[in-house]
Amino acid sequence: MNYVRTGMLLAAMTALFMGIGFLIGGQSGMLIALVIAAGMNIFSYWNSDRMVLSMHHAQEVDEQQAPELYGMVRTMAARAELPMPKVYVIHNPQPNAFATGRNPQNAAVAATTGLLDTLTREEVAGVMAHELAHVKNHDTLIMTITATIAGAISMLASFALFFGGNRNNPLGLIGTILMMILAPMAAGLVQMAISRTREYAADRMGAQICGNPLWLASALHKIAGGAAHIVNEDAEHNPATAHMFIINPLSGQNMDNLFSTHPNTDNRIAALHEMADEAGFTDNMHGSGGGHFHVQETSYSQPERETRRPSGPWGSAGQTEQHQGHDQSDHDEPRRPKGPWG
């Protein structure tokens, strides 16, 4: 059903774009609009990932620079049966993350240092699984296409006034002015609707990939709280990329309405808790999304389980007294870089 809705929304946006071209210049205007859209989509297909990562000053990291984060993404990608994506860190205090790339073979996931500082290891795993679900569902390409078409619609609408007196334009001057205002709004609403549809699907698949819906539920609660109080300057300067993040980075809006780029966070958390109840997961949280989960050891690779020790904000997540005692006994070993990003 999500794919059907997405297809219908994409068709509506395409029809809107072609309709504006026709109203501006008749059949020739519609043809020009198609050429412009094709050119913009081809450019975005090959360059959108680099553009978005550059806008947010993301820095690529490898296994030596960020061993815990890189290893976690590798584990989640293996579970999702995806190629290993590139991993990026954004030095930004707001907790957030996004995925980009034209296909699974050319994908990238990015996390802010605010997210790595704030969330537990399990919660970060839930977030990375959510982003990989977007990659697996080809949402990164879908969102790039919708953003490109929405931008093209806004561009055409801005030129519409110059063609208001064209005899091929049945709207007239007043109708053209209305079109200049309403067309970009309609395109934005369709873009937001597609984004909200894909977020619910990625939440569900992400919970399946990481193995525990409660990890992602708790992560969403913390991220929403952080986004509401911490300004993301790069996102404010590039609001067109807001729909790519797991939580709206602009204002932390928590409203599930036509003008929100993301679903209501409480609704997402409730859906994940319902999913957890169906699967028999339990937690010891007090309130929605708060506290640490008491869960069994995750199925990371064997080397990761053997070397887990306090390092950065994830040190105590999921560790038992036995693990901590082992860590204390080998204090003479060289210390690893502080923090999960190196």
Binding-site annotation: residue ranges: 130, 134, 199
Return the DSSP state at 259: T
Cβ 241 vs Cβ 50: under 8 Å = no
- Does residue 274 carry a catalytic annotation? no
Q: Whole-prediction pTM value?
A: 0.73
Give 59's pLDDT tier (boundaries 50, 70, 90).
very high
Confidence of residue 82 (pLDDT cuts 50, 70, 90): very high
Q: Which residue has the tokens 């919708």?
A: 146
Question: What is the percent of the chain where pLDDT is above 90?
Answer: 37
Q: How far is it, in rounded angstroms, from Cα 279 to Cα 274?
A: 9
Q: What is the pLDDT of residue 6?
A: 64
More confident residue, 13 or 115: 115
Task: State the pLDDT at residue 192.
Answer: 73
The region of weakest confidence among 17-21, 30-34, 103-107, 335-339 is 335-339
Partners of residue 78 on adjacent β-strands: none
pLDDT band at 316 (very low <50, low <70, confident <90, very high): very low
Residue, of 169 and 303, whose pLDDT is higher: 169
Measure the CA–CA gap between 291 and 163, rounded to whole angstroms: 59
Q: Residues within the annotated binding site for Zn(2+)?
A: 130, 134, 199
For the chain, the first-to-last Cα distance in angstroms comes to 42
Any idea what DSSP says for residue 99?
E
Name the catalytic one among 131, 278, 297, 321.
Answer: 131
User: Going by C-beta distance under 8 Å and a sequence separation of 6 or more, which residues neighbour residue 337?
Assistant: 65, 67, 311
Q: What is the token pair recorded at 316?
A: 């105590």
